[in-house]
Chain A
Amino acid sequence: MQSLRWLLVPLLVLPIAWLLFQGFGRDPRQVASPLIERQAPAWSLTTLDGETLTSDDLAGRPYVVNFWASWCAPCVEEHPVLSAAWDQHSDDLAMIGVLYSDSRDNAESFLDRYGRAGYPTVVDESGALAIDFGVVGPPETFFVDADGIVREKQTGPLTAESMDRHLASIGIGR
């Protein structure tokens, strides 16, 4: 029994160390969204063009809600993916950009530089819509089906592959 006492410290320390190190290597922004499989939040906001747009206007169609900002580098990266998806599927779904913690002027400059995809961007002046969607930071994209249920969330920039996969979850493509 004396010869086995040296095992005591590793037997106690190793499980605790394993538990603590579980967090390393995980992206802290990959927070599971409690909105998945729940009704998307209702909203009424003004577009960059000054028109009022509400979630009711999108009822009955699947839609994509993309939170972005001009200061967000991954947003530049995913912008062509969003544009391509809109070009391909604009007859079947709605797509909404939500300006996150940014000014209208900066948003206009961004779109002038990287291209206007054709879908509207609403301005979340107070940040309340971002809170309702549980946004940690742009880019974050939510995929809502025709019944208004959030099916999937993308944290970080979309790729063509991930866009196709997420769209399939709301019945678009594939």
Chain B
Amino acid sequence: MSRSLPAVAIGCLLALVALFALRPGSPPTDAQRADALAHELRCPDCAGLSVADSPTNAAQEMRRQIVELVVGGASNAEVRQHFVDRYGDWIRLAPSSPVAWLIPFAVLIAGVGALTAWLVRRPSPLVPTPPISADERRRLREEAEALDA
């Protein structure tokens, strides 16, 4: 029991940290929601930038529409759908398909699994070879003497 105590203590500490990090916070303000949504949407003019980061007129107008929708009571999903209805799913910077989110984890797990399998099957260099028996020692001596002869 005393040998596993440090591991148990570390596990409990990590669990407490996770609970603290995942605790429900206060709901975001309209401004925070609008800002978060602007970061999720792609600027039509500068496709690599979010609407939040782009200085173009189109991005500015989209930010204005986001604020108008949020203040008007639209949910985050409704705001996203407003722009998806006009541009298609392309307007979202983050993919909406769950498959796109799962692939990196699947590849990571497969990679860790393959590495683990390779490590387990590889012969350990630290395994000591068994000592030579008396019979083997005698046979080796006889063969060496035969070569010298």
Partner of B44, one of A32, A126, A135: A135
Q: Is A25 interfacial (CB-CB < 8 Å)? A: no
Q: Is B60 interfacial (CB-CB < 8 Å)? A: yes
B134: min CB distance to chain A, Å = 37
Tell me which residues across on chain B come within 8 A of A132, comparing CB atoms: 86
Q: Is B101 interfacial (CB-CB < 8 Å)? A: no
Tell me which residues across on chain A come within 8 A of B61, comparing CB atoms: 126-128, 130-131
Chain B residues within 8 Å of chain A by Cβ, number? 19
Please measure, in the bound complex, the distance between the C-alpha atom of A28 and the C-alpha atom of B44, giving whole angstroms. Answer: 11
Smallest CB-CB separation from B62: which chain A residue? A131
Smallest CB-CB separation from A137: which chain B residue? B45
B10: min CB distance to chain A, Å = 36
Partner of B88, one of A33, A128, A131: A33
A32: min CB distance to chain B, Å = 6
Q: In which size bucket is the chain A interface?
A: 10 to 19
Please measure, in the bound complex, the distance between the C-alpha atom of A127 and the C-alpha atom of B64, giving whole angstroms. Answer: 11
Contact present for A34 and B57 (CB under 8 Å): no
Please measure, in the bound complex, the distance between the C-alpha atom of A31 and the C-alpha atom of B87, giving whole angstroms. Answer: 8
Contact present for A34 and B85 (CB under 8 Å): yes
Q: Which residues of A contact B (CB under 8 A)?
A: 28, 31-35, 101, 126-128, 130-137
Listed A/B pairs (10) with beta-carbon separation below 8 Å: A31-B90, A34-B85, A101-B58, A126-B61, A126-B64, A128-B65, A131-B61, A131-B65, A131-B86, A136-B45
- Pairs of residues from A and B, 9 with the lowest C-beta to C-beta distance, nearest first: A127-B61, A134-B86, A134-B87, A101-B57, A31-B90, A34-B88, A136-B44, A127-B57, A127-B58
